[in-house]
Structure 1
């Protein structure tokens, strides 16, 4: 049995096999793990019902019967993934499924080591990581300021970053999912976030973008979000006309139907008159006017939110997006 600490070290060089069902895997998994289900979703439900109704003996017998026809495929997958190496194996709690899998493949020459405590132990490490003391420096700015691009430019300069919107696959507003693939589950987002955190030196500063607690359908971990909201802010002021151009460039390829649907989601906050004007300009393919109208709402919301955090602002920097690298080197990186 591998401790979770040994697992985290060894998985850097060895394949990880997740023998839970495909549904469990889809909800959340160790990044990079390969799913080889011992029981699929339907089979797991059957075995679970039997366990409750008739006890473990009948459940085990049914599980063996269900898995039997697929044993050859399971073994071949394990051999193919291992490619002569050891493999690390886990199920949910490090119990019957992973132990039986390891026993089976070991009979055929595949050296497999189960994770003590299973995926649940890994999740414990994930959740614990969000309670670390982070030396955050928060990039804040109105909608369209380009906080994600600024973070990526900081990374290129050797700075440590956490880019929440990239991990969430969403840009944060009602329009944030347009043109992007589906978001991960909140559980998978947390796993991916953990994998970024363990790469960082927590004694040094970490740049992160200012976010509300929800990014699309994903909710940020409470301990981390509370630290983010109480950390020093660097407010980047980008002229509204520049932000309008950036938004048009970002969403210019999105269909009018999708843009209109997203606009309708904020009708109440936008107000009927502003919604009508935004809709008319959108239907006329005048995206600049649409963006300007929407920014009136988003800027008002941002100004209200930042008002209560004025004492956290350690720097206000004007940026017109003419020289990103120069802005990063001369302005942001020089903040102490």
Structure 2
């Protein structure tokens, strides 16, 4: 069967129906890819260097011949692997620019009866879209509050109620503190984070406000797009208030079950900021299982950091919302009332 070239607009409708193959090398795929795609390299990392060097030194024809010399002996292996993985024989393929590597893969697959859709412009076209998407102007509503106020839980509950949210920490696989990586999957690269971020934004109505948890510019090793971060600083912020005991109880619920050695390592990463005495006290409390003690110790540092971060937000755009002793249902009601006050009665 002949391949069909598809635009990015065509791609969006097909990608929910068909699997995707990335024909780039393993390191290119690991750096970033279209989420949900599978990697079947036409040229691996070492071969790609050889072909690239030859292209620069001797031109396209020599490089092309070398490429076929390197990958030709593997054609049957690639075909067998793809046939095992995708017996329905319908597939989307792409490479960096929609050029030689995806063309070769498409040709191979059509030879054994695959219905192939090749993305025009390749991954570069997709990446241009995601890069621009996460930097567009949005209507944002920032959910703030000191550590332990349950912002992420409230964000998820707002989503259940039909509100538009973006869970930046979920996309980054990090909870945004020295303790934030414990129990999480490895973080995506900055580029892949933006791809995941754009995929989420694409599902939302751009005319309606989006709830976002207040974050620093960095979430672990992930860096927010500068344009989006500046939008967050300028957007209305609802600053949730909870009692210290409520906050300690929530943090203990999430972190007291984690391994002591990982908690201690997280404390040690803050040693320069905490000082020797407080660091020792926190570690001793962790070893003794005195969770209230080490958590309250950490909150001294995190509360100061939050106050400093709060000062970066636009003047007059912060609303304090007292949720002390209030259940989730009432808290959500109050948050939605605050949203109506800020954005009117536009609904999702």
Per the normalisation by structure 2, the TM-score is 0.90
How far off its partner does 1:8 sit? 2.1
How far off its partner does 1:325 sit? 2.6
Structure 2 counterpart of 1:133, from 129, 132, 137: 137
How far off its partner does 1:290 sit? 0.6
How far off its partner does 1:242 sit? 1.3
How far off its partner does 1:31 sit? 0.9
Structure 2 counterpart of 1:38, from 28, 38, 42: 42
192-201 vs 295-304, greater mean Cα deviation: 295-304
Structure 1 counterpart of 2:118, from 114, 120, 124: 114
Figure out how many residues of one structure are paired with residues of the other and give that number: 335
Report SS of the residue matched to 2:9.
helix
Deviation track 1:180-229 (CA, whole Å, cap 9, x = no partner) reads 22111111111111110000001011100000110001001111111111
Equivalent runs, 1:180-219 vs 2, <5 Å:
180-219=184-223
- Asked if 1:24 corresponds to 2:28, the answer is yes
Instruction: Check the 8 A contact 2:234/2:314 in 1, yes or no.
Output: no
Report SS of the residue matched to 1:315.
strand
CA distance 1:312–1:160, shift in 2 (3 Å)? farther
Structure 1 distance, partners of 2:305, 2:105, is 54
Report SS of the residue matched to 2:315.
helix
Structure 1 distance, partners of 2:314, 2:107, is 60
Structure 1 distance, partners of 2:33, 2:81, is 18
Aligned to 1:283: 287
Equivalent runs, 1:146-185 vs 2, <5 Å:
146-185=150-189
How far off its partner does 1:63 sit? 1.8
Report SS of the residue matched to 1:131.
coil
Report SS of the residue matched to 1:334.
helix
Aligned to 1:50: 54
How far off its partner does 1:239 sit? 1.1
CA RMSD of aligned residues (A): 1.8
Aligned to 1:259: 263
Aligned to 1:332: 335
Aligned to 2:252: 248
Aligned to 1:294: 298
Deviation track 1:117-145 (CA, whole Å, cap 9, x = no partner) reads 11011000001112322110000000111
Structure 2 distance, partners of 1:202, 1:122, is 19
Instruction: Check the 8 A contact 2:235/2:317 in 1, yes or no.
Output: no
- Asked if 1:3 corresponds to 2:7, the answer is yes
Instruction: Check the 8 A contact 1:16/1:32 in 2, yes or no.
Output: yes
Structure 1 distance, partners of 2:86, 2:157, is 38
How far off its partner does 1:321 sit? 6.3
Structure 1 residue runs of 5 or longer lacking an equivalent are none
Instruction: Check the 8 A contact 1:235/1:313 in 2, yes or no.
Output: no
Structure 2 distance, partners of 1:321, 1:86, is 55
How far off its partner does 1:271 sit? 2.5
Report SS of the residue matched to 1:167.
helix
Report SS of the residue matched to 1:316.
strand
Aligned to 1:272: 276
Structure 1 distance, partners of 2:294, 2:262, is 14
Report SS of the residue matched to 2:208.
coil
- Asked if 1:311 corresponds to 2:327, the answer is no
Per the normalisation by structure 1, the TM-score is 0.94
Structure 2 residue runs of 5 or longer lacking an equivalent are 341-348
Aligned to 2:240: 236
Instruction: Check the 8 A contact 1:230/1:312 in 2, yes or no.
Output: no
How far off its partner does 1:322 sit? 5.2
How far off its partner does 1:46 sit? 2.5
How far off its partner does 1:311 sit? 3.1
Aligned to 1:103: 107
Instruction: Check the 8 A contact 2:134/2:197 in 1, yes or no.
Output: no
Structure 2 distance, partners of 1:65, 1:259, is 53
Structure 2 distance, partners of 1:312, 1:110, is 59
